[in-house]
Amino acid sequence: MNFAQSFKLALKSLKTSKMRAFLTMLGIIIGVGAVIVILSLGNGMTNMMNSQFEKMGSNLIQVMTYGRGTGGTRDVDVEDLYELVDKYPQYLTGVTPYVSASAKV
């Protein structure tokens, strides 16, 4: 079977079963569209997260201490952090203290 015979046979098959050809075409279109949408959403989410991380800063270090208060083994004061900035000015430019707490209501 050469290319011309195959092409004529394909056209004849499309003419005889139009509904099947339409449904096949519709399925392919929906499938390709779904893949394009999923890839676009994935790339968009990746770009959004990268921009959020860039906004936070690449030179930002967060230090958290747990176990403060009664029974804690670690005690860090704000003055200790300011001393670190004074001691290592080539690495640290500033300190922003932040305190959070949780309680049952």
Residue type, position 102, single letter:
S
Q: Are 95 and 81 in contact (CB under 8 A)?
A: yes
| pLDDT tens for each residue of 35-81 | 999 999 999 999 999 888 877 776 677 766 666 566 565 677 778 88
What is the maximal distance between C-alpha atoms in the chain?
88
Domain assignment of residue 93, yes or no: no
In which domain, by residue range, is 73 found? 3-87
38 assigned to some structural domain: yes
Confidence of residue 32 (pLDDT cuts 50, 70, 90): very high
Assess if residue 100 is contained within a domain. no
Contacts 24+ apart (CB under 8 A), 50-58: none
Domain total of the chain:
1
| Tokens representing residue 90 in the block | 């080539």
Q: Evaluate if pTM is beyond 0.75.
A: no
Residue 101 within a domain: no
Whether the Cβ atoms of residue 75 and residue 68 lie closer than 8 Å to each other = yes
Residue 98: inside a domain, yes or no? no
